C-alpha cells in the first residue's frame, strides 16, 4: 500500500518504505538503471511529440504560403484574406494544444532526473562509482545539463504561437492595405 511520507511520519513507516524499495529494486544499481530507463522512455515520448508537432506545423506553413500565392482574379482576394487567417488560427490553436503534452513529458523527465541525482547523492558507494566512471559525469545528471537539451522542445510551441500571430497580422495587413491589387 502506498504511503505518504512527510516530516511528521514515524520512523517505522520510513523504515518499512525503505525495506519495500529494497525488495523492489534489489540494489542501488537496479534503481539507477530503472531511473535511466524511465528517463530514456520519457525522452523518446517527448521527441515523438515534438516531431509530430513540427511536422504538422510545417504542413500548415506550406498551406499558408500556398494560399497567400493565390492569384485567381474572381475569388483570390477574398480567399487570400480568409484562408490564411484561418490557417494561422489553426497554427495557434495547435501550438496551444501541443504545449500541455510537451510540458508534461518535460516535467516527468525532470522528476526522474531529480530521483537519479538524489540516489547518487544518498548512496555514497553509487556516487563514487558514478563519478569515477568515464561514461558518467556530474554534468550529465545535473539539472542544468539536461534542461538545456530539452529547451528546444519546450520553447517550440511558444515560438510557433508568436510566429502564427505575426503571420496572421501580416496576411491581414497586406490584404487590407492594398485593396485595389
Does residue 1 belong to any structural domain of this protein?
no
pTM: 0.73
Name the more confident of 22 and 114: 114
Tally of domains within the chain: 1
In a domain, 83, yes or no: yes
CA dist., res. 131 & res. 133, Å (int): 6
Q: What is the mean pLDDT of residues 20-48?
A: 84
Nearest CA to 122 out of 4, 6, 35 is that of 35
More confident residue, 104 or 145: 104
Q: Classify residue 8: in a domain, yes or no.
A: no
Residue 132 is assigned to a structural domain of this protein:
yes
Average pLDDT over residues 112-126: 80
Its domain, for residue 68, covers 27-177
Amino acid at each position: 500500500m502506498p504511503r505518504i511520507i512527510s516530516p511528521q511520519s514515524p520512523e517505522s513507516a520510513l523504515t518499512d518504505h525503505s525495506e519495500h524499495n529494497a525488495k523492489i529494486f534489489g540494489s542501488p544499481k537496479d534503481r539507477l538503471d530503472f531511473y535511466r530507463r524511465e528517463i530514456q522512455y520519457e525522452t523518446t515520448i517527448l521527441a515523438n511529440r515534438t516531431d509530430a508537432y513540427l511536422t504538422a506545423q510545417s504542413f500548415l506553413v506550406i498551406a499558408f504560403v500556398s494560399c497567400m500565392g493565390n492569384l485567381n482574379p474572381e475569388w483570390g482576394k477574398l480567399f487570400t484574406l480568409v484562408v490564411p487567417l484561418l490557417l494561422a488560427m489553426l497554427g495557434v490553436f495547435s501550438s496551444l494544444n501541443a504545449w500541455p503534452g510537451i510540458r508534461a513529458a518535460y516535467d516527468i523527465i525532470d522528476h526522474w532526473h531529480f530521483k537519479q541525482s538524489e540516489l547518487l547523492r544518498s548512496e555514497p558507494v553509487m556516487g563514487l562509482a558514478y563519478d569515477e566512471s568515464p561514461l558518467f559525469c556530474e554534468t550529465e545528471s545535473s539539472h542544468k545539463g539536461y534542461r538545456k537539451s530539452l529547451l528546444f522542445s519546450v520553447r517550440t510551441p511558444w515560438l510557433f504561437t508568436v510566429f502564427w500571430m505575426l503571420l496572421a497580422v501580416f496576411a491581414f495587413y497586406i490584404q487590407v492595405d492594398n485593396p485595389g491589387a
